Structure 1
Amino acid sequence: MRWCVAQQYVFSAFLVMALSLQLHLTGQAQPLGKIVAAYDSSAVETGEAFSLEFRITPAAAHPAVTNLSPWYGVLPKENILACTHWERTEQGWRQALILIFLEAGDVILPPLPVVLLTGDTLWSAPIRLSVIPTPTPEEQASWRDIKALWLTPASWLERWAWLLGIVVGLLMLAIVVYWLLLRRPKNRRKVRETVHSKSPHVLAAEQLAALESQRLWERGALKAYYTELSRIVREYLERQYGFPALESSTEEVLQCAQRAIPSILNDPLKALLQWCDLVKFAQATPPAHYHAQAMREARRLVEQTAAALRSAPSETSSYPSAEPPA
């Protein structure tokens, strides 16, 4: 009886040891894992290097050989530019390949077998790619930059806000245009009307009187005196006879005035304008008696031309001549 009990204990112990060994061996068995292909895009240009990776996760037995021959039917062997050895990573195993496609079209790379050191085989999934032709320089030049996104208004309130802003902006622009084009030109017209409301000879006489009262030649300001005197005479001729005396040379002014003013005034006018030019541009100094005489010649020009236009010639007076130096 005791012997039977001992046999039962021995058999139970042996059974427990066998089960423990089986569980230990089962725990050390490695799963085969799964192979996937990773790449950036399914579209690739002709002649452009295309990179992809094969990854085996979870960590399985060490991969031994990747058989690439199933691809040779659609991808020549020489178009496989690089194929690295399998490397261990934290997640499993990885292998990098670099391919190049020379013809455009849709390509399906068939599954590849990967043989493990244990003798098992893993198969990759088919890879579908779209090979597009490389654009020509003319096509690239015609491409436009991507425009920014335009957000449509979410409600009518936002639409009215935009419309209100546009209306306010247009109103402000109209006010500015009104001020620039209507208000300021009116002010200028008023100034011109005030100045031109007087006849040319009256305005010239007033300007000559104002210039004479300053007695600039007595203070040595000959250039300022003769410059202003020339301007008054030229402006008078321009307004009285309608030719651009202010913008013309002295020779041109004399040619136009010769056909308009009495002939007796041609020589005094010529001497006056020439002396004005010599003082302004050559720093010449007329005779001392000519400073006051130049004013009298200008005043006589205004008075006698105005009288001639009224068909009532006045008596002329003679003054000592002061011919400009040659």
Structure 2
Amino acid sequence: MENNRIKMTSFFKDIAFKISLVLLLLQYGLGFSQTAISVTSEVDTTSIKIGEQIRFKIQVEADSTAQIVFPEGQTFSPLEMVEVIMTDTVRKLDRITLQKIYALTQFDSGSYTLPRQQVVINGQNFFTDSVKIAVATIPVDTLSQKMYDIKPFLEVEKSNIDLWKNALWIFLSFAVIGMLVYWFLIRKKNLSEEEKVALLPPYDRALLELKRLENSKYIIQDEYKQYYSELTDIVRSYLEEDVHVSALESTTDQLIEKLELLKDAGELKLDDETIDQFKKVLQTADLVKFAKSKPETSVAEQDRKAIEQIVIKTKEALPEPDEEDLLLDEEYQEVLSRKKQKKKWTMAAAVSIGILFLTTIVSIGYYGWKPVKDTLLGHPTKILLEGDWLNSTYGYPPVNLETPSVLLRQDIKLTPEVKATVKEAQVFTFSDPDALFYIGVSSTTFSSQETEPDFQNSVEQVLKSFEAKGAKNITTKQEEFKTISGTLGLKIYGSGKFTLPQSNEEVNGKYAIIIFGGKGFQQQIIINWMEDDGYAENIVNRITNSIEVKTGA
């Protein structure tokens, strides 16, 4: 009986242990299922033609709180990522399933391996499987379809914006010149009263001025000195212009003597009484001006009337001009006309020069001497900097950058030694010899996709090419270079003595070599410019800040 009891107790203990073990396994399995992570991948096809795309899908199953980072950028080399087609998320309770699909392609035939892709989940790395992809060429039926030669380069019509700018500047220049010519040469000015009087014949002008003197307030205000000064100046000016006798510089006695000589010679038919009257008026004027004499008001008025009669009688006493005098007078008027015309042109030129000078001074004050000088004389790199820039992609693997002029493809012949390692090399350049400015872009693919680029050797070859062209004292520095998208490369830069191709003159210059690369390919940008050229420095900065590459062969 006791034995049976012991057996029953042992049986139940065994059953309880097994139940506990099952419960423990169930609990562990349930917890494991809640924390397990699954990463899988697949492609829709393993065989494509050149340029076709494959769909590469990565699927992750994990806890809904997991931090998941998918592959980004060109990590699929030697295949090239075209785009991320879609990202899909499915949640179920506390679990999450993420799917990301990439479109990949290749533009060269061959067999490629899509490398394992890294997925980071909660700081832990997981990897997809690698896949073999076959890229086949597109068959060409040369029997049913004609073959044509490669078409030559076509000249692209240049933008007309510069032409319109130049035309606008020329139009504005002619407009300003036309306005100046009109204002100073053609326009009929509204003459002042003084100018109108000055244009009258000497006789008419003398009588008009005597009439004004009659209506003046000199006598009322006892300003006899001013009155007689103007009175004698009027008659002296008339005699000088019409009688052609130097009256303004002559004393009273000298002037009377000259008139008497003209009378005796028969050139001036004045009677003695008129000359005596004129002499008296001049003597009275001398007393007023120099001896401060003050004649009676009636005497002053009579002297003005006497001078008026003297002017009239002198005009009548002048002999009629003969043909020779008329010719001389005509020549004299022509000379006067030419002088006036010359004066107008001189004034217009002076105004134009003044405007140009003032504009230059203001420009120098605002922009500085060097920018204004370079604008007027045409600095080569300033023209490049301020011209129309182009954003283009060159070679394969592609190099995209912004340049002041299009880079032209260069024909490169590879030597047999180079062909052993290089499959293809594409080179594009632009240079301005006058400014010692050069930019070159090259993209190289190696014969073997596993070949790593030798940056050091590439730099040495560039420096040797500098030396072969006469460069001396070349210094080198090195630093990491990063594009806008974060692609890392190597930058080697420095300075030295470079030779201008046109004149063989040695100048201080700078250079920069920027290199990118990976298995099977290399991309390189070379820039060379003159030191202390601020415009060139701005060009280089703009170019380097625009560089973008796709690191896939």
TM-score range, shorter chain: 0.3 to 0.5
TM-score, reference length from structure 2: 0.24
Of structures 1 and 2, the one scoring higher in RCO (CA 8 A, sep 6+) is 1
Larger strand fraction of residues? 2
TM-score, reference length from structure 1: 0.38
